Amino acid sequence: MVRIYHNTRCSKSRATLALLEQHVGTYEVINYLDSPPSTAELDVLLNQLGMTARELLRTGEAEYQSLGLDDPALDDATLIAAMVAHPKLIERPIVVVNGKAVIGRPPEAVLAIL
């Protein structure tokens, strides 16, 4: 099953979804701003992406600054908790296929795991 963590307001996310429509028969769309991933789900996604929590953060979001997430002393658990509470901080889109995940920036990056 192919799954995309999608934000309808994001042009890269919409472009990635369009690629999935062209290349995949069935896929699941998770509007992660409405249904944020849990701490456990984020842990799994980070493992599938091969990324740290800090690497998955959107540093340009207002919440990043207001929550002081630029503090290098913050551990992954704290950063993950911030993303669960403020899903806008999660880099997007994330596509998961057969236990592998990739961020669709650029959208064509997802083709590597399809």
Q: Which residues are known catalytic residues? A: 10
Whole-angstrom distance, CA of residue 84 vs CA of residue 37: 6
Whole-angstrom distance, CA of residue 101 vs CA of residue 85: 22
